[in-house]
Amino acid sequence: MKNIIKKLTDMRYLWKMIQNFYPSSLYNFLRFTNSVPLEKKILDCGAGGSNPKLAFFHENGFETYGIDISEDSINYSNEYCEENGIKLKIIKADMRKIPFESNFFSFVFSYNSIFHLNKIDSGIAIKEMYRVLKKEGLCYINFLSKDDNHYGNGIEQNPGEVITIEGNGKFLHSFYDDDEPDKYCKDFEIIYKEKRHIMQGNYFNTGRTCILDYIVKKL
């Protein structure tokens, strides 16, 4: 009986470790944030879900805030918070109209979220991220590359904007040429840009195989 209990305990510990493993791009962003002499206050745009990435920054001592447009995703993140005894401050809101005052955050990020907007709305959302950032603050955003293996599936309604049918719903994904997201960064300084092309497997169990990572600074 003791051996069974020990095995169950070990399995729960292993599962906890798996849950707390985060994408390498977030570790990279953390490294950049640690080089900036601003208070550790961060916003996640698209923060909901059963394994909220905002928890990574909570674990590293940040004051965390998040927004998400989906009630279901927020409920999942609230369940995660209850199970782990943490408070991430995730509320329902649209990243195209962020409900915080200007210059409120030192850091903003959007992981695997902004490419669910069309390209015009993505520009609006990034202008909002700029607005709520403090001077010298950093923002991390990732975009889907046109080299991703899902590009070409579905109906392309505008260049790079693809509608797919998944279950009973329709979903938008925006795909970009290599330097295309630069157009959103005219008011920022681009301090890091990387194309993550996964030759085998996929990007952090998302099914994605090619991502464009950006870290930008508010001037």
User: How many domains does one find in the chain?
Assistant: 1
Q: pLDDT digits over 138-163, tens only?
A: 999 999 999 999 998 999 999 999 99
Instruction: List the CATH number of the domain containing 38.
Output: 3.40.50.150
Q: Is residue 134 part of a domain?
A: yes
Q: Is residue 123 part of a domain?
A: yes
Q: Is residue 166 part of a domain?
A: no
pLDDT of 102: 98
Q: What is the pLDDT along the chain (219 residues), one digit of tens a residue?
A: 555 444 444 444 434 444 567 899 999 999 999 999 999 999 999 999 999 999 999 999 999 999 999 999 999 999 999 999 999 999 999 999 999 999 999 999 999 999 999 999 999 999 999 999 999 999 999 999 999 999 989 999 999 999 988 777 889 999 999 999 999 999 999 999 999 998 878 877 788 899 999 999 999
Q: Is residue 160 part of a domain?
A: no
Tokens matching residue 62:
């940040």
Q: pLDDT digits over 170-208, tens only?
A: 899 999 999 999 999 999 999 999 999 988 788 777 888
Whole-structure pTM value = 0.89
Enclosing domain of residue 198:
2-143+178-218
Tokens 């409920």 correspond to: 75
Q: Is residue 162 part of a domain?
A: no
